[in-house]
DNA sequence: CTACGGATTTTCT
DNA sequence: GAAAATCCGTAGT
């Protein structure tokens, strides 16, 4: 399977977000490949987007990596306890990113289970299986993604994205999650997901029209 | 299955 | 000092 190249990332966040669905996220941990299929993402559009960390061109230590070239990881701590993984997109100087919100475990299930619940995969309850990677903080825990991954080169050997299978699927769109502060950008349909996939974090019921 | 509140600490004002 | 791109347990329907 082919690795996604830098040109893919060097485009508009909305475009990249949609095309990331169905691709495989890989993190090599202790020599083993942990692999998940991306099923839910959100586009953050940079300076114009009131929901983005880089809104208004804000440039702090935390968001610095978004100002660099495309194809690098932006990892930050949320609510003091969880990590969120983003893919930096667009050209250098234009700070856009795609938040990875949900994924389906493909390979390395035992290791993911231990990282997240400290249990064997077969010991997991149904609810726990779904909770392995069905949220931004959850998938970082299962894939052992933390602050040390901030700035990682996605065109490198440790953390990267593969093209994935060419199976067709339907894409859903909705408003982004937990950005009530973003005023007129709150309702923008910039969250994308694979319809009917159980590892999508929310919106399986009423929110989808 | 939905709703709510608490946990916990980095980041920025 | 307040907010934050979240998660989990508990209680209720």
| Residue A126 CA, nucleotide C12 C1', distance (Å) | 22
Portion of chain A with pLDDT greater than 90, in percent: 96
Q: Is A81's CB less than 7 Å from nucleic acid strand B?
A: yes
Q: Å from A172 (CA) to C6 (C1')?
A: 22
Average pLDDT score over chain A: 95
Cα separations in angstroms, A107 against A10, A39, A74, A120, A142: 28, 15, 23, 14, 12
Residue A202, pLDDT score: 77
Reported as a single tens digit per residue, the pLDDT across A17-57 is: 999 999 999 999 999 999 999 999 999 999 999 999 999 99
For the record, the structure tokens of A69 come out as 């070239």
Residue A114 and residue A204 in contact, taking contact as beta carbons nearer than 8 Å? no
Cβ–Cβ < 8 Å for A10, A70 = yes
User: Which of A179 and A166 is assigned the larger pLDDT?
Assistant: A179
* Across A108-120, average pLDDT: 97
Task: Identify the residue whose Cα has the smallest distance to the C1' of C3.
Answer: A79
**List of residues 6+ apart from A128 with CB closer than 8 A:** A117, A119
Strand C nucleotides, any atom under 7 Å to a protein CB = 3-8
Query: Mean pLDDT throughout A143-164?
Result: 98
């Amino acid at each position: 399977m082919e690795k996604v190249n830098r040109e893919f990332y060097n485009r508009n966040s909305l475009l990249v977000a949609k095309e990331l669905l169905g691709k495989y996220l890989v993190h090599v941990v202790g020599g083993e490949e942990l692999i998940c299929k991306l099923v839910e993402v959100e586009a953050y559009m940079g300076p114009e987007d009131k929901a983005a960390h880089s809104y208004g061109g804000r440039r702090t230590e935390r968001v610095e990596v978004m100002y660099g070239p495309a194809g690098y990881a932006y990892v930050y701590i949320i609510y003091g306890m969880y990590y969120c993984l983003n893919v930096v997109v667009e050209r250098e100087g234009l700070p856009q990113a795609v938040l990875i919100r949900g994924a389906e475990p493909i390979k390395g299930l035992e290791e993911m289970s231990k990282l997240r619940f400290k249990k064997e995969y077969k010991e997991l309850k149904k609810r726990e299986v779904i909770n392995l990677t069905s949220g931004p903080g959850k998938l970082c825990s299962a894939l052992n993604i933390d602050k040390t991954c901030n700035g990682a080169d996605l065109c490198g050997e440790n953390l990267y994205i593969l093209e994935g299978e060419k199976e067709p699927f339907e894409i859903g769109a909705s408003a982004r999650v937990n950005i009530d502060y973003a005023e007129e950008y709150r309702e923008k349909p910039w969250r994308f997901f694979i319809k009917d996939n159980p590892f999508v974090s929310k919106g399986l019921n009423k929110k989808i029209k």
